[in-house]
Amino acid sequence: LLTVPLLLVELVAVLALAKAAQSSILNRLVPAAAAMIVLGYPGDAKLDIWGIAPSVWGLLSTIPFLYILYVLFIELGKSLSRQSEAVQKKVKILRLLLIAT
């Protein structure tokens, strides 16, 4: 519950975005990461909570994950135009790694 949100905080921190942009992105990423983990745990642990099958929990945890991908691809993509070519290249590689993993 700590590692994924912290990794997202680190990701945004190393991009050296403006404080307002960092705050805006983090206010969306951290709760989404926590929701993804909380919703995914019952599915991963094969728990049947409130009569909801584990596979449904897995599906529910996919919703915040897709939102995280949206923020990382679309929202960060908007700020990349102001970054150097080296930063743009690294973020593009990061995106591919995220999809691959």
Domain boundary assignment for the chain: 2-91
Q: What is the CA radius of gyration of the chain?
A: 15
Q: State how far the Cα of 20 lies from the Cα of 52, in Å rounded to an integer.
A: 39
Residue 63 predicted with pLDDT over 90: yes
Residue 76 predicted with pLDDT over 70: yes
User: How many other C-beta atoms are found inside a 10 Å radius of the C-beta of residue 78?
Assistant: 9
Under the banding of pLDDT at 50, 70 and 90, the label for residue 97 is confident
Under the banding of pLDDT at 50, 70 and 90, the label for residue 15 is low
User: How many other C-beta atoms are found inside a 10 Å radius of the C-beta of residue 61?
Assistant: 19
Q: Length of the chain in residues, anyone? A: 101
The model scores a pTM over 0.85:
no
